[in-house]
Chains A and B, each alone.
Chain A
Amino acid sequence: MSDRTVELEVLRYNPETDREPHFQRYSVSCPEEWVVLDALNHIKESVDPTLSYRWSCHMAVCGSCGMMINKEPKLACKSFLRDYPGVIRVEPLRHFPVERDLVTVIDDFIAKLASVKPYLIPKQGKPVAEGEYRQTPAQLKRYKQFTLCINCMLCYAACPEYGLIPEYTGPAAIALGRRWNQDSRDGGRGERADVLASKHGIWDCSFVGACSEVCPEHVDPAGAIQQEKIHNMVDWYRVHTMPWLKK
């Protein structure tokens, strides 16, 4: 297989010397089977060691190498160069502050993930001696899809609501909250509602659906958010119109 000379335009930003980011062009001779991450690794190793970006697994599991490739949020390790004719424009993930080059500041996302209490809050606590909390395969399947998130943040970069409303809890965090709310062993729905059903929770979503389209793991956060909306709406009507049903 012959190599192809690929032109990459990479957004560069050095906080120590730059006032604002700028694009830098690299010409790289690439084998056909390379992904964008391979080209970046080649640039860092052989052309420009100052280039900064995150990566780890190179197989769409760790979620580190999310970046904008020709304006779409993508995992660089899953984006084959052969799918991009012409100049390939590589930028840091949208909607996050740029720390340096392709590295973004992800503190806001991490705080939002933690805010939905993504852990088991048992309906009734019991001592370890009484054994594990058990679950059937059907009960597992109810939320399994929402466990597949790799925290790559592509959904946040795709979501215009998050871009316009930085307080919005956002797709991945809400999907994770939904995952625990759907867990048959869990009783933390009310506690999570403080964040999920708040002003900047599910109701900031206008169902653009971009999060689900760009998700590399097919988690479908847009679905999770709409399901949570319906669930909360039913809860509201039950509380306000049928108080006798309240547990």
Chain B
Amino acid sequence: MSSRKPYLREISSEWIFRHPRYLRYLVREFSCLFIGAWTFMAVVGLKRLAEGPDAWAGFLAALRGPASIVFHVVALAITVYHAVTWFNLTPKALPVQMSEEFLPDGVIAGAHYAAWAVVSLALLYFAGAF
């Protein structure tokens, strides 16, 4: 007779604190909430713009309030964290093999940073920043 009786240990939320990597992962994942919130705010801004000059002026005034400034500072910091963590992972997802050797990780991640800089500069240019 078999005396097997495998014991399945409970899975709890304990894993989150088992190693710092899991907390870093959760911060990266939850950073999307701030990016989503900022995007929602931008959509509200578009709606206000469509409603006319008074509504738009009210929206701009709200943006200058302390709550809005705190939100923007926090959202910017978290968005930079989100972008940097993802860009640093790109060499894993997009390895490029040239003849026999693979391009160094720094080249793949660096290309993403360069593209980010170019797109940001283009956006600022079209927005009339310079």
Chain A residues proximal to chain B, CB less than 8 Å? 13, 15-16, 18, 20-21, 71-72, 94-95, 97-99, 105, 137-138, 141-142, 160, 163-164, 206-210, 212-213, 220, 222-223, 226-227, 229-230
Q: Is A21 in contact with B11, judged by CB distance below 8 angstroms? A: no
Q: Is B7 in contact with A223, judged by CB distance below 8 angstroms? A: no
Smallest CB-CB A-B distances: 8 pairs? A226-B93, A223-B92, A97-B6, A15-B5, A138-B100, A98-B7, A97-B8, A163-B11
Q: Is B6 in contact with A71, judged by CB distance below 8 angstroms? A: no
Q: Which residues of A sit under 8 angstroms from B102, Cβ to Cβ?
A: 141
**A-B contacts at CB below 8 angstroms, number:** 73
Q: Which residues of B sit under 8 angstroms from A142, Cβ to Cβ?
A: 97
Closest to B8 in A: A97
Q: Is B6 in contact with A15, judged by CB distance below 8 angstroms? A: yes
**A227 and B93 in contact (CB under 8 A), knowing A72-B19, A138-B99?**
yes
Q: Is A210 in contact with B93, judged by CB distance below 8 angstroms? A: no
How many Å lie between the Cα of A206 and that of B25 in the bound state? 9
Q: Which residues of B sit under 8 angstroms from A16, Cβ to Cβ?
A: 3, 5
Q: Is B19 in contact with A223, judged by CB distance below 8 angstroms? A: no
Closest to A68 in B: B18
B84-97 vs A, CB cutoff 8 Å, 1 = contact: the mask equals 00000100111101
Q: Is B11 in contact with A95, judged by CB distance below 8 angstroms? A: yes
Q: Which of A18, A164, A206 is in CB contact (< 8 Å) with B11?
A: A164
Q: Is A163 in contact with B15, judged by CB distance below 8 angstroms? A: yes
Q: Which residues of A sit under 8 angstroms from B15, Cβ to Cβ?
A: 94, 160, 163
Q: Is B93 in contact with A99, judged by CB distance below 8 angstroms? A: no
Q: Is B7 in contact with A208, judged by CB distance below 8 angstroms? A: no
Point out which of B18, B21, B95, B97 has the most chain A C-beta atoms below 10 A from its C-beta: B18
Q: Which residues of A sit under 8 angstroms from B51, Cβ to Cβ?
A: none
Q: Which residues of A sit under 8 angstroms from B29, Cβ to Cβ?
A: 206
**A141 and B89 in contact (CB under 8 A), knowing A72-B19, A97-B8, A98-B9?**
no
Q: Which of A21, A71, A206, A210 is in CB contact (< 8 Å) with B7?
A: A21
| Apart from A20-B7, A210-B22: 15 A-B pairs, beta carbons within 8 A | A15-B4, A71-B19, A94-B15, A98-B9, A99-B4, A105-B6, A137-B100, A138-B99, A138-B100, A141-B97, A141-B100, A141-B102, A207-B89, A209-B89, A220-B92
